[in-house]
Copies of this chain bind each other. A is one copy, B any other.
Amino acid sequence: MGRPPGFDRREVLAAVEREFRKNGYDGTSLDDISAATGLGRGSLYAAFGDKRTLFLTALGDYCDQDEASGAAALAGPDETAMERLRAYFIDAVDRQLNDPEQLACMTSRFTVELAGRDRDATARLRQGFEAQRAALAGCLRAAQRNGDLDPAADPVTLATLLVVDFRGIGSLIGIGLDRAELVAVVDATLAGLPAPPPSAAAS
Contacts and interface: CB of A to CB of B under 8 A. Distances in A.
Contacts of A104: 112, 115-116
Most buried by B among A111, A172, A176, A185: A172
A16 to B, nearest CB: 18
A191 interface: yes
A15 interface: no
A164 interface: yes
B26 A175 contact: no
Contact of A185 (B113, B161, B174): B161
Interface string A153-169: 01001101101111111
Contacts of A154: 184
Please classify how large the interface on chain A is, using the bins under 10, 10 to 19, 20 to 34, 35 or more.
Answer: 35 or more
Query: A interface, by DSSP: helix, strand, loop or mixed?
Result: helix
Contact of A165 (B113, B125, B168): B168
Contact of A160 (B160, B181, B194): B181
A191 B158 CA distance: 11
A144 B24 CA distance: 42
Given A102-B116, A157-B188, A175 B126 contact: yes
A88 interface: no
Contacts of A181: 157, 160
Contact of A113 (B102, B112, B169, B193): B112
Interface in A2-60: 23-24, 26-27
Which of A154, A166, A171, A175 has the most C-beta atoms of chain B within 10 angstroms of its own C-beta? A175
A175 B115 CA distance: 6
Nearest to A104: B112
Query: Top 6 nearest A-B pairs by Cβ distance?
Result: A192-B192, A115-B174, A168-B168, A26-B26, A164-B168, A167-B168
